[in-house]
Amino acid sequence: MVRILQINDREEKIQKIANLYQNVWQSEDNDSIYERFLRHSTYEGYKGLVVVNGYGEIAGFAYGYTSLPGQYYNGLLAKELDSIERKKWLGDCFEFVELAVDSNYRKQGFGRLLVRNLLEGLVHKTAILTTQVHNHSARHFYEGLDWEVVKEPFFPSEKSEPFVIMGKELN
């Protein structure tokens, strides 16, 4: 039996999702992931979910928060969009920050379940996310959930690979 749970006992669950993230993406050290995820959990409008397998193990997670001026990523996105796009996509926006599913649980609908539950009940007009331009499986996944390309390419930093900004109208 699969369950979706809110991330409410934040420190313990955030350490577990940081571990999962590090295993999935094989990137940066676990302490910086944990600290970033913990900081994000204090942002306005934060919503975080985990999907738990029948043994009580976290098989995947997703989280986001209200995207507001003054936040690092909101600032990067705002620079990339013209005034009409900024108003439409960032004016009342939920920033979908992370989604990760353990490789042992992929292709079982967990990602889809997490995304749908994360967006359910939000009061925001739009949601926005970024993914790598060449991550075709992620792009196909989000397009299948009615996300649209807002801007491509997007370079979050001078040294980064190209990303795509995707958006979804919620209300």
Match domain 3-169 to its CATH number in 3.20.20.70, 3.40.630.30, 3.40.50.2000, 2.102.10.10: 3.40.630.30
* pTM of full prediction above 0.85: yes
Using DSSP's 3-state secondary structure scheme, residue 18 falls into: helix
Of 95, 112, 68, the closest CA to residue 170 belongs to: 95
Domain ranges of the chain: 3-169
pLDDT digits (tens, 9 = 90+) for 109-138: 999 999 999 999 999 999 999 999 999 999
Q: 42 in helix, strand or coil?
A: coil
| 38 C-beta neighbours (distance < 10 Å), count | 14
DSSP 65-128: EEE-TTSHHHHHHHHHS-HHHHHHHHTTEEEEEEEEE-GGGTTSSHHHHHHHHHHTT---SEEE
Average pLDDT for runs of 10 along the chain of length 171: 64 81 77 87 93 86 96 95 97 96 90 95 97 95 97 90 96 75
The pLDDT value given to residue 48: 92
pLDDT at residue 15, as a whole number: 84
**According to the model, what pLDDT value does residue 167 have?**
98
* Strand 126-132 to 47-52 pairing: unpaired
Q: State residue 151's pLDDT score.
A: 96
